Structure 1
Amino acid sequence: MLPFAQGNSIMTILNADWPAYPTGVGVRDALVGLARFPEGTTFSVTSDIGGYVLLVADGFGRRPEDRLHLAIAHEALLDAADDGLVTGVERLTEREHEERRRDQLRAAVSASARAAGRPFPDDVDPLDHLGAVLEGAVVPFRLPPLDDEEDDDGFGPVFRTWLGVRDGERIGLTGRGWARLAELFEDEPVPLPDSARPRVEHIVAGGLYDTALRELGAMVETRMRQHLGSAKYGRQLGLEFVRSLEGEYLEAFVRSLRNAVLAAFAFIRNEYAHNLVDLPRPRAVVLLGLMSSLLVEVEAISSGARE
């Protein structure tokens, strides 16, 4: 099993509407996920469900469907922040987390009402006017009241196990985070699928990691073209491959594979196909792991092994 794969897959099903899924819940998993993007990339939270957050990489993708996403466990980000490995993250109590969530919902409902030309009066709480459409009819509903008890009643410990993002900040790896990544992967074997070893293993052994990435990228594209009978290449080939799976595989799988393909071509294939780069080994291990996992997935689909 590849280090960055879940079984033979590069994603774990968590929420069917998400375009990306986490592959672990530890600090290492958080660092690996963030390090797949170029150094200096920051992330914003777009969804928060069941102890996981869905992040979107700032500044990438002009259209919503082209945005690049990453899913990470609360616990992983909080522990990483405690060690100074990521920016923007803070610990909240459950009540603080719920208050922020409601403030965000209140702002969204207010903005929607203003856009429709029906703004709420200043003395009206938008959360008192929530509703859902059921069988064509709008059914009002109210959020349950917040617990009247304070988080800190002076009689016990205060548990700050909920994730928050500091006002005006973004999530990203710190210099210490990159240094920790280097420590973690100093002696880490480079993940390669068996099909790639004859072409790539000796290149990796020689430390030519950018060349190894070019070879893996070429293998991914070759498998895609063989599967499709297509003459396209690069990003357009990757998107054509993903579109060919629609209706044959679960929508959640196709959506998350699309996100993985976009990231692989944007940050790996395009960068290392046209440039000679002295790639540090820790980042090379991360990127080679991502491209290897994608190759495994494409080969499984092409051979019919992926059900």
Structure 2
Amino acid sequence: MFERIDDIDRCVLLLVKGYKRYENPYDEQAFHVAIWHDDLLEARDRGLVEGVLSLTHRQYEERKREEFLKGLRRAHGREGLELPPADIIYSLQAEIDGRMLPIRVPPLDEFDDQEDGERPNVEWLGIDESGEIRLTDRGWSELDALWGDSLDVPERVRSRIGPLIGRGLYDTALREFGVLIESRMREVASSELYGLNLVEAVIRRLRASGHFHDSSLKMLRGELRTAFKFVRNEFAHNVVDLPRPRAYALLGRMCHVLMEIDGVLADLDNSERLNGPSKPRLNN
């Protein structure tokens, strides 16, 4: 289940639900997904997700203002304040450079709308009354097929992994991948930590090196946390009988993660060989 927690420039930020409750939905320990409106709407049209609606720009603005007003009223109710009127949205102010300045909110009439029954030229994302976006059975099958097609066992581990896959010992192969990935990560972090703590140690080490863009590290962190939370942990201590399509999907993802870590370690070694190790930088 995915819950929308932010939406700007026709790109939506989703919170992955069901794993832990966070007081702050933006907590970096939570699991998030960012995706363009157009991609989610296309996925809906292809039957891959449900809970997604197509809105005109005006309908999108109307819903956004309704949600804002509901949130404002909830906050006022908790603090025992008088509930604000509906037109408060047109008299909002913000502090800018020490001064309170008005925020211009254009009237709804300025937004184009379509005639009833017509499909809008530009579609905006809406979410149905459930408030959640969900993968359909077809969506799961498509996801499994995509990861299964990407199964490419790195040459350096084929002698260990290939025979396990060939004999259908998929859960054993996934456990072996988990060990290989963690071992490689310990080389990066120079640490004996494990699991999600090891992920954070790897990212700290790479950030301190000064050789990697922060945006790249955020993507890598997401890949690693996903692999550990949703793949490695399930198979580390359990014997699981997996159907071949699902197994190939999970193995494809773990192949990708191992290659990512191999690439990062190679980049780190090359950078430090050419430029010398950077001194760790203190965070503010």
TM-score by length of 1: 0.73
Aligned length: 264
1:212-245 deviation digits (Å, cap 9, x = unpaired): 2212211111011122221221222222222323
Distance 1:187 1:225, change over 3 A: closer
Distance 1:228 1:186 in 2: 28
1:193-225 C-alpha deviation (Å, 9 max, x unpaired)? 344333223323333322222122111110111
Distance 1:277 1:96, change over 3 A: same
Specify the SS of the correspondent of 2:108: coil
Q: Calculate percent identity across the aligned residue pairs.
A: 38
Whole-Å separation in 2 of the counterparts to 1:159 and 1:264: 39
Cα gap change, 1:157 to 1:219, in 2 (>3 Å): closer
Structure 1 unaligned runs (5+)? Answer: 1-41
Match of 1:133 in 2: 95
Instruction: Pick the aligned partner of 1:191 from 128, 139, 152.
Output: 152
Larger radius of gyration: 2
1:245 pairs with 2:191: no
Q: 1:223 aligns with which of 179, 184, 188?
A: 184
The separation in 2 between residues aligned to 1:250 and 1:264, in whole angstroms, is 21
Partner of 2:15: 56
Q: Distance in 1 between matches of 2:143 and 2:215?
A: 30
What value does the CA root-mean-square deviation take over the aligned residues? 3.0
Contact map agreement 1:91 1:160 (CA 8 A) in 2: no
1:213 counterpart SS class: helix
d(CA) in 2 for partners of 1:213, 1:233 = 16
Change (3 A) 1:71 1:90: same
More moved, 165-174 vs 202-211: 202-211
Structure having the larger proportion of residues in helix: 2
Q: Does 1:232 align with 2:193?
A: yes
8 Å Cα contact 2:44-2:50 kept in structure 1? yes
Pair 1:282-2:241 in alignment: no
State the shift of 1:80 in Å. Answer: 2.7
Q: Secondary structure at the match of 1:191?
A: coil
Corresponding letter in the other structure for 1:52: C
| Cα separation, 1, equivalents of 2:79 and 2:147 | 56
Which amino acid in 2 is paired with 1:213? Answer: L
Letter paired with 1:190: L
Contact 2:164 2:170 in 1 (8 A): yes
The match for 2:125 among 154, 163, 175 is 163
Asked if structure 2 preserves the Cα contact closer than 8 Å seen for 1:109 and 1:126, the reply is no
Kept in 1: contact 2:20–2:30 (CA 8 A): yes
Question: Which structure is higher in RCO with an 8 Å CA cutoff and minimum separation 6?
Answer: 1
- The 1:244/1:135 distance shift into structure 2, 3 A limit, reads farther
**Cα displacement string for residues 238-288 of structure 1 (whole angstroms, at most 9, x for unaligned residues):** 222223233534433333333332221111111011112122333333322
Q: Which amino acid aligns with 2:114?
A: D
1:177-188 to 2 correspondence within 5 Å?
177-181=139-143, 184=145, 188=149
Quote the offset at 1:157 in angstroms. 5.3
Equivalent-residue separation in structure 2 for 1:87 and 1:278 (angstroms): 29
Report if the CA contact (8 A) 1:56-1:70 is conserved: yes
- Contact 1:186–1:282 (Cα < 8 Å) also in 2: no
Conserved 8 A contact 2:3-2:17:
yes
CA deviation string 1:146-190 (max 9, x = no partner): 2357623479754462221101242112223334456x4597351
Q: Mean alpha-carbon deviation: is it higher for 111-120 or for 210-219?
A: 111-120
Are 2:106 and 1:144 equivalent residues in the alignment? yes
Q: Cα 1:241–1:193, aligned 2, differ >3 Å: closer, same or farther? A: same
Q: State the distance in 2 between where 1:158 and 1:237 align.
A: 47
Given that residues 61 and 68 in structure 1 are in contact (C-alpha distance below 8 angstroms), is that contact kept between their aligned partners in structure 2? Answer: no
**1:260 is aligned to 2:223:** yes
Alignment gaps of 5+ in structure 2: 272-284
1:12 corresponding residue in structure 2: none
- Correspondence for 2:4: 45
Query: Which letter maps to 2:64?
Result: R
Q: For 1:69, which of 32, 38, 42 is the aligned residue?
A: 32
Match of 2:163 among 193, 202, 209: 202
What is the TM-score when the length of structure 2 is the normalising length?
Answer: 0.78
In 2, are the aligned partners of 1:185 and 1:282 still within 8 Å (CA)?
no
